[in-house]
Structure 1
Amino acid sequence: MRLVLGGHGAPGQVGWCLRRAADQLGLSVTWLDERLFFAGNMAHIPGRALTWGLAHSVLPYVAYNLALLQRARSAQPDVILLVKGARVWPSTLRALRKSSSAVLALYCTDDPYNLQASPPSVRAGLRFYDLIATSKRPSMHQVERVSGTKVRYVPLGYDPALYYPTQPTPAQRARWGSDLVFVGAFDRDRHVALEQVSRAAVESGWRLRIWGARWHHLPSASPVAPFVTRRILPPRLVRLALACSSVALGFVRHANRDTHAMRTFEIPATRTFMLAERTAEHRTLFGEDQGAALFDTPEELVTRIRHFLPDEESRQQIAAEGHRRVVQGQHTYHHRLVEILTA
């Protein structure tokens, strides 16, 4: 099978993981890495782009869309698969439909109707796809109704080359160790929960560490601020931060209609104890206090931390079961790519 694949090529990003999976499957892959065209993650946001001038807003899009058309012409693919599709113009999708016999597929790893995550071009382009896969189950009927296109639910996953159990050295534990860790971007709902966790951490002497992007949105007086390091960790350091922590917190993004997140699979893959939001999907994947511990409210989150933090034996048993379920459950991006290509 010949595949044109477009996405973000940073290690750990879904596009990067799917490209590795395509290579493992022995596909003939023509890869289009968005990083070659766009300098910043926020380049697709129209209001912001306008302030950057022509060179930073329009020209990268022109180059990217022309490159996609050119690769489709030269590769003569069986499938064109785009991850997120946030950089692709509807006119480009229309041209691909006319000029190529390939199946045109989209993998929505963000909710197309989350205005903070998906630009208008994503919604305008939905009707041009032959297949739409989405990791957002609550959005499926809306996407299907608007696009008139077959929509398949394909969850996020993990790459076993990046996320696996690690035995940290004493020096690494001293550098990265914590009682509680959260690795992820700022979100208002997460901030509300972490405010309570931060206050409890101060009262109880817990070591709390928070890593990730967009934490500059944090109110300056927030009790969360002292625990935040505004740094995006590459996968090898995410793995290390998880391995050096007793409890890893797992939040979803409600504005994105998440029922799970990338960390849903990445945390258990490292055999780290996960305390995650209680969604229907998390309950199906892990059960209650079997492969992960779950919570509903910030108050319950703090209560569950107080329960599990001193109980190392229970944490290790739950972490081991979570690891077993993820590893044996066919949750790698290799499996996800097969699901998309055979839909």
Structure 2
Amino acid sequence: MANIYYFGISYTNTTTYHRASALKRLGHNVIIYDPYTIIANRLNNKIQSKIHYITGYFFLEKVINEWLLYIINTSPKPDVIWVDSGELFGPTSLKILKIWNCPVILYNIDDLTGKRDGNRFKNALRSLLAYDLVVVVRPETQYECQQLGAKRVIRVYRSYDEKAHLPFDNLEEIPLSFKSEVAFIGTWMKYERRDKFLAQLMDNGVPLSIWGDRWQKSSYWEKLKHSYKGASLGGRDYTAAIQGAKVCIGFLSSGNRDQHTTRSLEIPYAAGLLCAERTSEHTYLYKEGVEAVFWSSAEECARLCHFLLNNDTKREEIRLAGIQRVKELKLGNENVCEEILKLV
């Protein structure tokens, strides 16, 4: 088994933690280095954080590189270096990591070459040619990274976590506060119009429960607050809210060129019923109306929700078929991480 140095656990991002944990479960010796802890005091207010985001973290390169040099000088050589996301590592950072003369992987599930996040991934793109393997989740991103000269680029689907998203054995274990008819678990995003969509579901009589951050900023808050159940969920609470709902709404990020999201895998694996936007990737992953349900408008989504809530047998058939299908796809973190490591 490999000795892996894993860089990039953001203190706000549990999905990266799940991947590192999956590598450990596969038997690898994983040492986690979180660059965000090194720069936390420089991101301690909204203004500073926004400046660094807008400038592509350019003014943080020196402190990051000094930190990497310290690790190089005080740590034994690993077998593999895994960089998650990569926005903090510029070309000099990669030169430092390359001192170890071992494979360096970039794994990024955001839209690395897209336009939504401005300069956020400027460092990662400047460093692209230095990585031995670049792993992305969109065919467009794969093509664009290849065009930019990356040595080797592969595209994978997003993944659920075999342990973190494992459903409860018994529905009685799920607290009543996490049981609902139709649930959406996610963040309000300014330009995604999720709030308008959810408000339209409410207008169409859909009994909605919302968990997530920043919804108070929505112009639809006066309506949505009646369905709002609380802030973002993590750990077993997240799984409980998925499994405790009869129907789970799955949104995409249009600015991120999404055709599927982590929710597309997490919801069925956590024993929920996926009700998401109709896309080519969703209809490839699941048989429509058999293993998941899809919509192209709020009106169609509302009709589907009412149909499912009024047809217990059909709803349960789709839910169980979705669970079976997501397991057949083998898109757990352990599966995906193992395939990636085989390539280096």
Contact 1:12 1:235 in 2 (8 A): no
- Change over 3 Å in CA distance of 1:197–1:38 after alignment to 2: farther
The corresponding residue for 2:197 is 193
Shift of 1:192: 3.3
- Change over 3 Å in CA distance of 1:320–1:68 after alignment to 2: farther
- Change over 3 Å in CA distance of 1:78–1:46 after alignment to 2: farther
Once residues 248 and 42 of structure 2 are traced to their aligned partners in structure 1, the CA distance between those partners, rounded to angstroms, is 26
The corresponding residue for 1:169 is 172
Does residue 1:306 correspond to 2:306, yes or no? Answer: yes
Shift of 1:130: 1.6
The corresponding residue for 1:110 is 110
Once residues 246 and 221 of structure 2 are traced to their aligned partners in structure 1, the CA distance between those partners, rounded to angstroms, is 27
220-229 or 268-277, which deviates more: 220-229
Shift of 1:62: 4.6
Q: Which of these residues, 136, 153, 156, is aligned with residue 155 of structure 2?
A: 153
Does residue 1:315 correspond to 2:315, yes or no? Answer: yes
149-158 or 38-47, which deviates more: 38-47
Once residues 157 and 235 of structure 2 are traced to their aligned partners in structure 1, the CA distance between those partners, rounded to angstroms, is 19
Does residue 1:76 correspond to 2:45, yes or no? Answer: no
Alpha-carbon displacement from aligned partner over 1:303-328 (angstroms, at most 9, x marks no partner): 21122121111111111111111123
Q: Which of these residues, 128, 131, 145, is aligned with residue 133 of structure 2?
A: 131
- Change over 3 Å in CA distance of 1:146–1:171 after alignment to 2: closer
Does residue 1:121 correspond to 2:120, yes or no? Answer: no
Contact 1:246 1:273 in 2 (8 A): yes
Contact 1:164 1:239 in 2 (8 A): yes
Contact 1:4 1:72 in 2 (8 A): no
Does residue 1:240 correspond to 2:243, yes or no? Answer: no
Count of equivalent residues: 333
Once residues 294 and 49 of structure 1 are traced to their aligned partners in structure 2, the CA distance between those partners, rounded to angstroms, is 36
Shift of 1:93: 1.4
Alpha-carbon displacement from aligned partner over 1:279-313 (angstroms, at most 9, x marks no partner): 21111111111211111222211121122121111
Helix, strand or coil for the counterpart of 1:223?
Answer: helix
Letter in 1 for 2:251: F
The corresponding residue for 1:89 is 90
- Change over 3 Å in CA distance of 1:310–1:116 after alignment to 2: same
312-321 or 214-223, which deviates more: 214-223
RMSD: 3.0
181-190 or 8-17, which deviates more: 8-17
Once residues 9 and 75 of structure 1 are traced to their aligned partners in structure 2, the CA distance between those partners, rounded to angstroms, is 24
Letter in 2 for 1:71: I
Alpha-carbon displacement from aligned partner over 1:213-265 (angstroms, at most 9, x marks no partner): 23243115663343234512112111111122111111111111112111111
Contact 2:3 2:80 in 1 (8 A): yes
Contact 1:32 1:68 in 2 (8 A): no
Contact 1:215 1:230 in 2 (8 A): no
Residues 1-343 of structure 1 mapped to structure 2, 5 A cutoff: 1-8=2-9, 13-39=14-40, 48-50=49-51, 62-72=62-72, 74-97=75-98, 99-117=99-117, 118-166=120-168, 167-169=170-172, 172-173=175-176, 175-187=177-189, 188-200=192-204, 204=205, 206-219=206-219, 223-229=223-229, 231-343=231-343
Letter in 1 for 2:94: L
Contact 1:84 1:110 in 2 (8 A): yes
Letter in 2 for 1:75: P
- Change over 3 Å in CA distance of 1:296–1:75 after alignment to 2: farther
Contact 1:180 1:247 in 2 (8 A): yes
Alpha-carbon displacement from aligned partner over 1:154-201 (angstroms, at most 9, x marks no partner): 22111121212323438822x22221101111232323322211222x
- Change over 3 Å in CA distance of 1:317–1:57 after alignment to 2: same
Contact 1:81 1:105 in 2 (8 A): yes
Helix, strand or coil for the counterpart of 1:271?
Answer: coil
Structure 2 unaligned residues grouped into runs of 5+: none
Once residues 16 and 190 of structure 1 are traced to their aligned partners in structure 2, the CA distance between those partners, rounded to angstroms, is 27
